Chains A and B, each alone.
Chain A
Amino acid sequence: MEERIIDVNFGPQHPSTHGVLRVKVKLNGETIVNAEPIIGYLHRNAEKLSEDKFYPSVAIFMDRLDYVSNHNMELGYVLAVEKLAEVQVPERANWIRMMVVELNRIASHLVWAGTMGLDLGMITPFFYTFREREKIIQLFEMLSGARLTYNYISIGGVYKDIPGEFKDKFLEFYNEFPKRLDEIQSLFMENEIFIQRMKGIGYLSPEKAMSYSITGPVLRASGIKYDIRKNFPYLYYDKVDFEIPTAKDGDNFSRFIVRMEEMRQSLKIAKQAFDKMPEGEYFNPLYRKQGLIKIKGKGESYSRTESPRGEFGVYVIGDGTSKPYRVRIRSPAFHALSATNEMVKGSKIADMIATLSTLDPVFGEVDR
């Protein structure tokens, strides 16, 4: 029989591309011969926009990068500016930051779990994960007054202190969440169809993962124990007790296991941060009120943080004015996406969808 290769464009409007990814696929029947991801449909050039804004205003754009883990994005930027402008941060603020960042990691992974279920044709886990995420968002709303774009972590601290009723809600969430997570996991983990769809699919070797600069859960699922929180501790990650889950196989199923386990570890960190939080100031008064436009720095600094998708870095260059000269963003999912062809070549269309969903790209951040 004669082989006929057809070109199919998956996306930019497609139910399972997590936004506006377009994948140009060459298909032989249902087998993928070549897959070329094309990005840029959500490009806003946040790097250029940042250049004529004051330092605190740029944090607003960071919120819009990875719109499911906004606190992590803000933290990356704020740490870079704090290094640049030599800002002192009170201890309590750092603990609060750690807590919200870890809670946000859970929220982000929950979104991922739900949408991965949708990609595989399961409708129900999506509702359960979003129910849990809603609780986290309500906690965040209690803290910052916004539901999605928080603008909570500020240069020199955090904007508002933890309110009184937060403790009860947080402890309620802390006690209930592991049970709910087990429930959600039981829908996936032992399901034979799910295992068939995930085991051995989308294999990424550790060498290739390193060559593609992949970080985060995708790298750890390939068996490399690399986490910025352990390797280059920032905030107080060296003072809390947690583990970095890894898996050996490098396939979709390992990525699933790693992320599921990471949620449990994050909850552990958030609880420790909440317990270890000292009383005291939660912001540096020098950089509040009119101090917002007095943040100045000369030189360059690069901050490395572990976002839910991997290493999120912000490279800020200041020229001594109160506006940054250049802001450069390293987005983790960008690199995970660049290895798509490596993972999906030779597999079926359905496998490509599953693989793309385990990479967990968020296009606000990939396209910037």
Chain B
Amino acid sequence: MKGIIKGLITVTKHMFRKPVTVQYPEEPIPWHTKRFRGRVILNLDSCIGCTLCAQICPNHADHMVHYEYENGKNWRKIYPAVDIGVCTYCGLCQEICPTGSIRLSNEFELAHFDRDMDYLPDRLSRTETELKYHD
């Protein structure tokens, strides 16, 4: 009986503590860091089309596609496209990229009205905020 009452007291003590839940869309997440690994973002101007990111990607989410964009260094005109549906945000593409043109931003609100998960280079090069504005 003593243990039961002790447990009841422990539980009742919590009545006077503040709730720890965060009302997410209204309140900002207090612990969100700059280091957070969110959606992949591509810098079209510095990409040299070396395909290293597509090779290291463990889920083959990152794949190379042909895209008409001239930046002087990418003579084959192939750029990475990322299927966000299978991307695991592991950050290996960011690690291996020799020019630093593919990196992980800290955006994580990826909901859209269409179901097109495959981010082609054009879409990949813009941030989510820009895309939302575009929609």
- Contact residues of A with B, CB < 8 Å? 53-54, 56-58, 60-61, 124, 128, 131, 134, 138, 141-146, 149, 151, 159-160, 163, 183, 186-187, 189-195, 288-290, 292-293
- Contact residues of B with A, CB < 8 Å? 1-4, 6-7, 10-11, 14, 20, 31, 33, 35-37, 52, 55-59, 88-92, 95-96, 98, 104, 106
User: How many Å lie between the Cα of A60 and that of B89 in the bound state?
Assistant: 10
Write out the residue numbers on chain B whose beta carbons fall within 8 Å of the beta carbon of A194: 3
Write out the residue numbers on chain A whose beta carbons fall within 8 Å of the beta carbon of B37: 144-146
List 23 A-B residue pairs with CB atoms under 8 Å apart, sorted by A's residue number: A57-B56, A57-B92, A60-B59, A60-B90, A60-B92, A138-B31, A141-B36, A142-B31, A143-B35, A145-B36, A145-B91, A145-B106, A149-B89, A151-B92, A159-B95, A183-B10, A186-B6, A190-B7, A191-B7, A192-B3, A290-B52, A292-B92, A292-B95
A contact patch SS:
helix
User: How many Å lie between the Cα of A190 and that of B33 in the bound state?
Assistant: 40
Closest Cβ–Cβ distance, residue A325 to chain B (whole Å): 17
Q: Once the chains bind, are A186 and B58 in contact (CB under 8 Å)?
A: no
Write out the residue numbers on chain A whose beta carbons fall within 8 Å of the beta carbon of B35: 141-145, 160, 163
Q: Once the chains bind, are B20 and A186 in contact (CB under 8 Å)?
A: no
User: How many Å lie between the Cα of A53 and that of B61 in the bound state?
Assistant: 13
Q: Once the chains bind, are B33 and A145 in contact (CB under 8 Å)?
A: yes
Q: Once the chains bind, are A192 and B58 in contact (CB under 8 Å)?
A: no
Write out the residue numbers on chain A whose beta carbons fall within 8 Å of the beta carbon of B36: 141, 145-146
Q: Once the chains bind, are A293 and B96 in contact (CB under 8 Å)?
A: yes
Closest Cβ–Cβ distance, residue B122 to chain A (whole Å): 26
Q: Once the chains bind, are B90 and A186 in contact (CB under 8 Å)?
A: no
User: How many Å lie between the Cα of A194 and that of B1 in the bound state?
Assistant: 12
Write out the residue numbers on chain B whose beta carbons fall within 8 Å of the beta carbon of A144: 35, 37
User: How many Å lie between the Cα of A159 and that of B57 in the bound state?
Assistant: 16
